[in-house]
Amino acid sequence: MKKLLKFAAFFALLPFFVMTSCNDDNDDPQPQEQDRFDAFKTYMTSNNMDLSNVLDNWITTAEAVYTANTDADDANDYFIIDIRNADDFANPGHIDGAVNSTLGNVLTAAADADGRPIVVVCYTGQTAGHAVVALRLSGHPTAQVLKWGMSGWNLATASPWQSNIGDAADGDPNWAAAPGEIEANAPQTAPTLMYLTDNMDEVLVDRVVKLLEGGFKGVVNTDVLATPANYFVNNYWAEADVEHYGNIKTAHRILPLTLNDGEYAYLDGAAKVVTYCWTGQTSSMITAYLTVMGYEAYSLKFGANGMIHSTLESHKYSDGAIMGYPLTTSK
């Protein structure tokens, strides 16, 4: 009888031992995501992928592309990736030899370049900036944007730029007239990049994927002019240009902007960072790069050309930018 009671007591306690054993296993420390921003910053600068590297020779012209692709030397031809929608690629047409893709699939399209220099074409040269940053950070360091996009190639494809030049800032109370009212720069909080892995190659791949999945990050000038305090605005101009034209009120002027020399620390990693330039093309490149680095970043569409077009003395889109090169509708 005593033995039977002992066995009964053992089986009664068995679930307790099992549960305790399981709890001990679950109590083992589990891997935790950590903020990898500083490690990623070091990785980017050590591998010549600072913003200054990405912005080196990043844009080319319609004239350069047309000349190279129509001369007698096939070896210097550009591999043209056109990321406009398929309907517009087909009609009114595209550059002869161009392949149609999307921003999201641009890395796949670039795999067929076969060593040729890559140029990315969009409607205005703005979305292409995101694509080129992705390419330059993914093994295609010489990829370029076509200046003005297809709006500089042919009159039939020029309307995206023609319909967006303007003077939205004229008389706006949130535009500071010359000599401008630039905010003083001060150190800010960096964004966080939370990852389990400490392999920065893997982090870079994931950040580029997120950039491409997120699409073009643009904001219209009327939204920023209406409430500039809702954004951290960076005017990417030289000081003399601000003094000549003025600026959006509350804007900072952070140029140069690099990781290695620390100017990035003046950007607010907790805010919506809006960059504006002359045309929205440079700011698209910067916005894409900042997105990869973990910022919530946006490019002000069409830049100064949409806000003070009438008074611009340079960096100005006009019908003179339209080269009149041929289009094809063949696949």
Output 194 or 10, whichever has higher pLDDT. Answer: 194
In this structure, are residues 154 and 322 in contact, taking their beta carbons and an 8 Å threshold? Answer: yes
Q: Is the pLDDT of residue 13 over 70?
A: no
- The CATH superfamily of 49-164 is Rhodanese-like domain (3.40.250.10)
Q: According to the model, what pLDDT value does residue 248 have?
A: 98
Q: Is the pLDDT of residue 23 over 90?
A: no
Query: Radius of gyration of the chain from Cα atoms?
Result: 26
Q: Which pLDDT belongs to residue 25?
A: 52
Residue with tokens 């591999």: 79
Q: Residue ranges of the domains in the chain?
A: 49-164, 175-311
Global pTM exceeds 0.85: yes
The CATH number of the structural domain formed by 175-311 is 3.40.250.10
| Contact (CB, 8 A) for 250 and 233 | yes
- 49-164 against 175-311: fold identical: yes
* Model confidence at 237: pLDDT above 50: yes
Vertex 70 angle, CA 161 and 130, to 5°: 40
Q: Per-residue pLDDT tens for 79-90? A: 999 999 999 999
Residues linked to residue 232 through DSSP beta bridges, in sequence order: 273
Mean pLDDT, to the nearest integer, of 28-35? 87
| Average of per-residue pLDDT across 281-299 | 98
Which 3-state string (H, E, C) describes 61-125? Answer: CHHHHHHHHHCCCHHHCCEEEECCCHHHHHCCCECCCCEECCCCCHHHHHCCCCCCCEEEECCCC
Name the band, by pLDDT with cuts 50, 70 and 90, for residue 322. very high
Q: What is the mean pLDDT of residues 168-173?
A: 98
| DSSP conformational letter for 267 | S
